[in-house]
Amino acid sequence: MSPSEAVFAILCCQNGADPAVKAEVARDGWRLAYSRRGFLSFKNDSLGDKAVGRYDHQRLPHGVFVRTASWSLGLAKGEDAAMNVAQTVEIIERSGVKLPMDAVHIWPRDRVPVGKFDFEPGIDEVAIAVGELLVPSLKERGIITDERFNRIAKRGDRVLDIILVEPSIWAIGWHPVPRLTGNNANSALPTMWPGGVQPIQPPDEVISRAYFKAAEAIAWSGFEMRAGDRAIEIGASPGGACSLLLEMGLSVIGIDPAEMDEEVMEHKNFRHIRARAGDIPRSEYEGAKWLLVDSNVRPDQTLTTVEHIVTHRGSTIEGMILTLKLGGIAHADRIDGWVRKVKSWGATEIEVRQLARSKIEVCLVARMRGR
Ligand SMILES: C[S@@+](CC[C@H](N)C(=O)[O-])C[C@H]1O[C@@H](n2cnc3c(N)ncnc32)[C@H](O)[C@@H]1O
């Protein structure tokens, strides 16, 4: 492909976050080609031929609301599944993309917003059935070497992506998993997870779905939370996230005027402060290394509370994971202002992402400088 030729990228996001995705990738010259809620394809003819490779990870569209991004190869929409398999193979072989791929991920777009009708994003039975049908043909043609699909990819892998826009319409693409190192290495994790959704099997039934949100946020933040560290969660009831932190061996303080789950309450490493965060003395936060906030209040209020805690002379907080409720996707344009505010406290490595399992909210993670 010559440097001047247009390139296409296919993206997945949470159903309903589509307008925010369109706005954020437009800044880098991506123009909408086709979309269904939760799935979008974009065209770019101004990528140019810069120092980085044409199909490098950095060149794919990115943003707070972009859950997955792949270079597009084409769309299979046959009359039945067998026809789709044949079309998929043909599209891949004709594209000239370097083969074999190291892994294959197959997942559906989010057909409804997260949480609606108890919907959770990720691999479903249709995706598994498609994988079982398609993957043997991909292996036979040398497109992949391993018949397993939807495994967590490794750094440096090139992953074939099959997105079920509908059960009968498959968008075909691929993405490279970046070899990031250092403090931001974990920000690449969602590119390793099938469909950008962390595969996770909790040991027991979870107390609340916040367990999954916290697991994803902790993994993606790269915070080195260790057994024995003290974490504080503001907005802790009923206790999904606290139970995860306790499982990890941390000592946990949960702040919430509401009741906590009994099992969490009985844990020897847990203490409940039954109050609103703004009503307790700052000395309660001393000795804590990690601060999580998941209270259902306006972001401005959350940020005011957090500012008082982390900018205090005696603060020992090293990293924070904040849930900021958008109150409607149209308010996504406030995110830059929130980031500026957090930066003004001396925070570094600030990253914002709509977690796969979050509703209409974003997760902001940041470290406090020099701690
Ligand atoms: C989404 S729930 C938290 C779920 C929780 N993180 C879990 O893991 O199960 C939001 C919580 O924020 C609490 N909350 C609201 N305002 C608060 C405040 N000012 N201080 C502390 N908690 C607050 C509510 O009582 C509610 O329990």
Could you tell me the residue ranges of all domains in the chain? 7-196, 210-368
- Mean pLDDT of the 20-35 span: 95
Name the more confident of 46 and 154. 154
Position 299, amino acid: P
Q: How far is the CA of 96 from the centre of ligand 1 (A)?
A: 52
Q: Where does 7-196 sit in CATH, by number?
A: 3.30.2130.30
Q: Coil, helix or strand for 133?
A: helix
236 lines ligand 1 (CB under 6 A): yes
Measured between alpha carbons, how far is 318 from 348 in angstroms, rounded to an integer? 10
The widest CA-to-CA distance across the chain, in whole angstroms, is: 66
241 lines ligand 1 (CB under 6 A): yes
pLDDT digits (tens, 9 = 90+) for 186-235: 889 999 999 999 999 888 899 999 999 999 999 999 999 999 999 999 99
189 lines ligand 1 (CB under 6 A): no
210-368 maps to CATH 3.60.10.10: no
With the most atoms of ligand 1 within 8 angstroms of its CB, the residue from 232, 248, 255, 256 to mutate is: 256
| Percent of the chain topping pLDDT 70 | 96
pLDDT digits (tens, 9 = 90+) for 312-352: 989 999 999 999 999 999 999 999 999 999 999 999 999 99
Index of the ligand 1 atom closest to the CA of residue 208: 9
pLDDT of residue 1: 45
pLDDT of residue 201: 87
- Per-residue pLDDT for 134 more than 80? yes
Q: How far is the CA of 236 from the centre of ligand 1 (A)?
A: 5
pLDDT of residue 51: 57
| Percent of the chain topping pLDDT 90 | 86
Measured between alpha carbons, how far is 76 from 168 in angstroms, rounded to an integer? 8
